[in-house]
Chain A
Amino acid sequence: MDESQRTTPMSADPATENDYADAHRQLQALRTLLGSVIVGQEALITHLITAVFAGGHVLIEGLPGLGKTHLAKALAAALGLQWARVQCTPDLMPADVTGAEIYATAAGGASTFEFRPGPVFAQLVLVDEINRATPRTQAALLEAMQERQVTHALVSHRLPSPFCVLATQNPIELEGTYPLPEAQLDRFMFKLTVPFPQRAALRELLDVSLDAEPADTLRSVASPADVLRITQLCRTVLLAERCKDAAVELILATQPDGASGADSQHRRHIRYGASPRALQAVVRAARVRALMAGRSHVDVDDLEALALPVLRHRILLRLESELDGLDADATLTSIINAWRARL
């Protein structure tokens, strides 16, 4: 999805009723396919699909060995996307991500500097252990993620469409890491956590991926064009006034200054609340989720289901609350429950 697609509303509605049915069917097929190779992570798969079709980026946090890289590879294979992997280390340079100009000699003998695109020019970029890269390299991803372009030597190079960044980080072994700044965290639509699989899922994992990598042989159920079409179709999903008010109330409920009428029992733990970009993200994601559920309208339940992954990396807790053992998930769960009860 390029910038013109993001900013220009649909002038002519090419969608038909069958398009909604087809989109629903494709999304369900994609979820089923990924669920067959990534065992026991249904919620993670659903959120990941939602983020891809909502045009967002995903930050995945989990312990090593839980299948994060495998999930990215499977998603790229299922959608037929060109994908690239960047393994972040402290000595990784920005040019290693965005690309660099090299001196090249043409066949006729003329030598010029030409731009050699980096791995960020793939449609699906897996940035592994992003918190091990230096802030300079992390900042190089900012423009790519937000503007969907790379500027080098005063020349802007547009990124392919669709474009999605899947970044992973390890919650342990934090020595020698550079935590992502808040500005960059806000550019991720979702922050997903990978839970440890249940017993049955572990048992099934042996049957699925013991001797082979199923992602390598995965057949695609959609094409990049389908991704763009469904992404555009999601923008036509109806949003009632009640859902708009609910989304606004949700964002206000995370503000520590008490802008909303919610009780301050949980808000008092928050130092900084969610940004307006979070409001846009939750509504865009709710549209995809509604279409995934076979609806052409958003429900408050969609907002509720997506509130936690959208908001968990966008709030900052007070130091006192963190010292008391409170984390963002617990605080947000309380806020979301209170918000849902008021609707």
Chain B
Amino acid sequence: MPTSPVHHLLGAVRRRLWRGQVVAALRQALWGSAGLLLLAVAVHLAAHRVPAGAVLVAIAVLWLSMLAWAGTGRPAIADCALWADRHLGGASAFTTLLEAGKGTLATPSPQAVRWLESWATARVPDSLRRLAEWREAARLTRPLLAMLVCAALTALVLSLPDLVPALRQPTGASSPSSTGDRVAAQAEPVAAQGIEKLAAALRSAPSPQSPESSQARRETGQAQAAAPGKADDARPAAQAAAMPAGEPATRRNPSSGTAADATATVAAPQAAGSGGGSGSGSGSGNEAGDSRDARGDTGISPAPRGTISVPGSRSTTWPALAERQADMGRLGTYAPEPSIPGAAAMPALAAAAAAATPPAASETTWLSPAETSYVQAWMKANAPRR
């Protein structure tokens, strides 16, 4: 039962609250637009190309929904009265007057209601003055700036040429999802080529009874003893001892030929240092060859003791390996060549070779005295560290 001045005041308050609601919706729409733009940038960079039209449509839907919410959410008259009581000096008069008009008050005295009406009417001019002086910050600057920055960033990213096509190509339905899976998928054909070459090399390998093979076996044993560099330092010797005598050295370790020119007495400390620092889980001959031949490799500094080898650095050592392997006959055949695409797949190749069934141990695979002395010297040199 609001009187005319009170009704006028509550109408003004309702417009004021409605305007604040629209401003709040604008603020939320700005923040939401900034979020959508960032999301579009992230999707564009990580997953697939996002068309600009889709981004614009999403933002338009967001703005329309927020404005529709603000437009349809008309403040109730009770909320307006409560706001006027709280902020315009109403002292609960407008709320009480509304309740008296609705009949929700318990046995209201008509005289009290009339007194209340007159009191509230007298308060209206002052309340209107307070309402006119009421200032509330719109707080649109920060969301607006955020949306502008995000819009500029989105425009920049969407306008740039395709930066990472290689990452996007295997993102089809059947392609692996992670980067590691994609690299493995790229390495599969390379590994197959490597296996074929390995098989060809094995077919062309000399007889194990030949002097060449015994020399290669000794060298392989030296390389394996130098290669592991892990806690299990005695494993290369045992592995070499477990090799059958008839097996070619290349089969025991495909890349063991890279350590062909290493002598036991000279190379032991170096091999122990570099092998111990390699940290490679496979104990492959590649790394063993790296460490053993570091004295002949003028272009590469030997890895310091205790350092962990980075797999990506292997590609830089392949040319030197190729040069070294040029003197080593067939063993050099198994070193990966720089011309082979996907050289990074060599760990997979080595893993495939290591996964083969180990040959049965026999007396022919026992270490020679020189090898035994080498292993003992190497173990003695590494004893304090262990």
Tally chain B residues at the interface, Cβ within 8 Å: 24
Extra 4 A-B pairs, beta carbons < 8 Å, given A13-B110, A242-B92, A294-B119: A241-B99, A296-B115, A297-B96, A299-B85
Given A17-B115, A294-B119, A295-B119, check contact A236 B93 (CB 8 Å): no
CB distance from B76 to the nearest CB of A (A): 14
25 A-B residue pairings within 8 Å (CB atoms):
A13-B110, A15-B111, A17-B114, A17-B115, A17-B118, A19-B111, A20-B111, A236-B109, A236-B111, A236-B112, A237-B112, A238-B96, A238-B105, A239-B96, A240-B92, A241-B104, A242-B82, A242-B92, A295-B116, A296-B111, A296-B113, A296-B115, A297-B92, A297-B116, A301-B91
Q: Is B291 an interface residue (CB 8 A)?
A: no
Interface residues of A (CB under 8 A from B): 9-10, 13, 15-17, 19-20, 236-243, 294-301
A-side contacts of B111, CB under 8 Å: 13, 15-17, 19-20, 236, 296
Q: Is B72 an interface residue (CB 8 A)?
A: no
B-side contacts of A242, CB under 8 Å: 82, 92, 95
Closest to B111 in A: A15
CB distance from B224 to the nearest CB of A (A): 71
Closest to A14 in B: B111
Closest to B110 in A: A13
Given A17-B114, A20-B112, check contact A300 B107 (CB 8 Å): no
B-side contacts of A295, CB under 8 Å: 91, 93, 116, 119
Q: Is B341 an interface residue (CB 8 A)?
A: no
A326 to B109, CA, bound (A): 44
Q: Is B108 an interface residue (CB 8 A)?
A: yes
Beta-carbon contact of B107 and A9 below 8 Å: yes
Q: Is B100 an interface residue (CB 8 A)?
A: yes
B-side contacts of A300, CB under 8 Å: 92
A-side contacts of B105, CB under 8 Å: 238-240
A301 to B91, CA, bound (A): 7
A320 to B118, CA, bound (A): 52
The prevalent SS among residues of B at the interface is helix
Closest to A15 in B: B111
Given A16-B111, A301-B91, check contact A240 B119 (CB 8 Å): no
CB distance from B279 to the nearest CB of A (A): 56
Closest to B118 in A: A17
Query: B97-143: which have CB < 8 Å to A?
Result: 99-100, 104-116, 118-119
A295 to B93, CA, bound (A): 9
CB distance from A290 to the nearest CB of B (A): 9
Closest to B97 in A: A297
A13 to B110, CA, bound (A): 8
A298 to B92, CA, bound (A): 7
Closest to A20 in B: B115
A234 to B184, CA, bound (A): 88
B-side contacts of A294, CB under 8 Å: 119
B-side contacts of A10, CB under 8 Å: 109
A-side contacts of B82, CB under 8 Å: 242
Closest to B113 in A: A238
B-side contacts of A243, CB under 8 Å: 92, 96
**Which 3 pairs across A and B sit closest by C-beta, in order of nearness?**
A236-B109, A296-B115, A240-B96
Given A299-B92, A301-B91, check contact A240 B99 (CB 8 Å): yes
A-side contacts of B118, CB under 8 Å: 17
Beta-carbon contact of B112 and A238 below 8 Å: yes
A-side contacts of B116, CB under 8 Å: 238, 295-297
Beta-carbon contact of B91 and A296 below 8 Å: no
A-side contacts of B99, CB under 8 Å: 240-241
**Most chain-B CB neighbours within 10 Å: which of A13, A238, A295, A297?**
A297
A119 to B111, CA, bound (A): 39
Query: B290-310: which have CB < 8 Å to A?
Result: none
CB distance from B113 to the nearest CB of A (A): 7
CB distance from B83 to the nearest CB of A (A): 12
A221 to B361, CA, bound (A): 124
CB distance from A282 to the nearest CB of B (A): 15
Closest to A235 in B: B109
Closest to B82 in A: A242
Closest to B91 in A: A299
A295 to B117, CA, bound (A): 10
Beta-carbon contact of A238 and B100 below 8 Å: yes
Closest to B108 in A: A238
CB distance from B313 to the nearest CB of A (A): 60
CB distance from B378 to the nearest CB of A (A): 70
A20 to B100, CA, bound (A): 18
A17 to B82, CA, bound (A): 25
A301 to B99, CA, bound (A): 19
A4 to B79, CA, bound (A): 40
Closest to A237 in B: B112
Beta-carbon contact of B107 and A15 below 8 Å: no
A129 to B93, CA, bound (A): 42
CB distance from A20 to the nearest CB of B (A): 5
Closest to A343 in B: B86
A15 to B116, CA, bound (A): 14
Beta-carbon contact of A15 and B112 below 8 Å: yes
A-side contacts of B119, CB under 8 Å: 294-297
Could you give, for residues 225-241 of chain B, a 1 whenever the CB lies within 8 Å of some chain A CB and a 0 otherwise? Answer: 00000000000000000
A216 to B85, CA, bound (A): 44
B-side contacts of A297, CB under 8 Å: 91-93, 96, 112, 116, 119
Could you give, for residues 55-83 of chain B, a 1 whenever the CB lies within 8 Å of some chain A CB and a 0 otherwise? Answer: 00000000000000000000000000010
A299 to B84, CA, bound (A): 13
Closest to A243 in B: B92
CB distance from A112 to the nearest CB of B (A): 48
Pick from A13, A20, A236, A240: contact of B95, CB under 8 Å: A240
A9 to B119, CA, bound (A): 25
A-side contacts of B92, CB under 8 Å: 240, 242-243, 297-300
CB distance from A252 to the nearest CB of B (A): 20
B-side contacts of A20, CB under 8 Å: 111-112, 115
CB distance from B304 to the nearest CB of A (A): 60
B-side contacts of A16, CB under 8 Å: 111
B-side contacts of A17, CB under 8 Å: 111, 114-115, 118
A16 to B111, CA, bound (A): 5
B-side contacts of A15, CB under 8 Å: 109, 111-112
A-side contacts of B108, CB under 8 Å: 238
A238 to B91, CA, bound (A): 12
A-side contacts of B91, CB under 8 Å: 295, 297, 299, 301
**Most chain-A CB neighbours within 10 Å: which of B108, B109, B116?**
B109
